């Protein structure tokens, strides 16, 4: 895969509250995150701690209450920040959403121009050549994940966010996914992966963050919190 222009992302004072009045629940309480170019950061935290919310905010898909952003050291905020994030960041759901249509059609959505050769090479890369005419919604969980990764491979974002990419997979599929993610890292794409399943991702991990009480804490590889 050709190398990608490295992207550095710093987001601070991320706050997000769901609900209003008595039912308001503050999920993120001024979290700070610094994604260094080409690094792979693993994000863990209890269920419901706000990992998916944080990732959707970083991807520019969910509007935070407040946020300060610096992409490649350029400061910005507000709507422009969301737009910039959407341009640089790609977010993959835990269970990838497949649109109605074949694998090939779903893959083509990641390209802004028609390029059958690129599509073929992406299919080969994700080992989905034999499934190219299959309805994407009929793929297995592992195949859907590989198709989503192939879309990312084509789009080549500066930063790739993955929400539990190995959840509900067997060991073989987890190894395969781990290998594909390693190729993203080699290509210089910055990775942030929310996961409970560290074993298959430890080889590519550079840093580990834990989301606790709405804030991000730095931890070592074993998950022990480090003093800031």
Partner 1 sequence: MHSLSDSILEAFSLLFSGNAELWQIIGISFQISTTAILIAAIPAILIGFILAYTDFPGRRLLISIFNTLLAVPAVVVGLSLYIVLSRQGPLGEWHLLFTQTAMVLGQITLSFPILVAMSHSAFQSAEIRAWDTARTLSSNALRAFLIMLREVRFGLLGALLAAYGRIIAEVGASMMLGGNILHYTRNIPTAIALETSKGEFAQGIALGIILLLMSFLLTTVLHYLQGRGMLAHAR
Exactly one of 5, 77, 97, 115 binds partner 1 (CB under 8 A); that residue is 97
Residue 110 in contact with partner 1, rule: CB under 8 A:
yes
- Cβ neighbours, 10 Å, residue 6: 15
3-state secondary structure of 157: coil
As a dihedral over the C-alpha atoms of residue 189, residue 192, residue 194, residue 196, rounded to 10 degrees, the angle is: 80
Smallest gap, in angstroms, from Cβ of residue 60 to partner 1? 8
Q: Which is nearer to partner 1, 61 or 198 (CB)?
A: 61
Residue 79 in contact with partner 1, rule: CB under 8 A:
no
84 within 8 A of 55, measured Cβ to Cβ:
no
Smallest gap, in angstroms, from Cβ of residue 5 to partner 1? 16
Phi, psi angles (nearest 5°) of residue 149: -65, -35
Smallest gap, in angstroms, from Cβ of residue 85 to partner 1? 10
List the strands of the sheet with 66-71, edge to edge. 25-35, 9-18, 66-71, 74-76
Smallest gap, in angstroms, from Cβ of residue 97 to partner 1? 4
Q: Which is nearer to partner 1, 87 or 168 (CB)?
A: 87
**Buried residues in 114-142 as b, exposed as e (16+ CB within 10 A):** eeeebbebbbebbebeebeeeebeebeeb
Residue 99 in contact with partner 1, rule: CB under 8 A:
yes
Residue 18 in contact with partner 1, rule: CB under 8 A:
no
- The alpha carbon of residue 130 and the mean position of all alpha carbons in its chain are separated, in whole angstroms, by 26
Binding mask 148-177 for partner 1 (x = CB under 8 A): ---x---x----------------------
Rounded Cα distance between 225 and 19, Å, is 31
Q: Which stretch binds partner 1 (CB under 8 A): 43-51, 105-113, 125-133, 188-196?
A: 105-113
Q: Which residues bind partner 1 (CB under 8 A)?
A: 56, 59, 61, 86-87, 89-93, 95-97, 99-101, 109-110, 112, 135, 137-138, 151, 155
């Amino acid at each position: 895969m050709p190398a990608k222009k490295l992207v550095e992302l710093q987001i601070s004072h991320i706050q997000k509250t769901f609900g209003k009045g008595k039912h308001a629940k503050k999920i993120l309480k001024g979290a700070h995150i610094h994604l260094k170019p080409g690094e792979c950061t693993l994000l863990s935290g209890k269920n419901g701690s706000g990992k998916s919310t944080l990732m959707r905010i970083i991807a520019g898909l969910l509007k935070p209450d407040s946020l300060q952003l610096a992409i490649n050291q350029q400061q910005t905020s507000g709507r422009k920040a969301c737009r910039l994030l959407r341009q640089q960041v790609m977010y993959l759901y835990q269970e990838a959403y497949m649109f109605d249509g074949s694998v090939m059609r779903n893959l083509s959505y990641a390209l802004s121009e028609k390029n059958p050769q690129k599509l073929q090479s992406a299919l080969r890369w994700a080992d989905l050549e034999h499934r190219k005419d299959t309805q994407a919604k009929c793929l297995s969980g592992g195949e859907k994940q590989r198709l989503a990764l192939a879309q990312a491979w084509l789009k080549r974002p500066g930063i790739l966010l993955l929400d539990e990419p190995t959840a509900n997979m067997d060991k073989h599929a987890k190894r395969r996914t781990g290998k594909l993610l390693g190729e993203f890292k080699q290509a210089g794409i910055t990775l942030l992966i929310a996961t409970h399943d560290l074993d298959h991702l430890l080889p590519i991990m550079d840093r580990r963050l834990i989301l606790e009480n709405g804030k991000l804490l730095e931890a070592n590889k074993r998950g022990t919190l480090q003093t800031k």
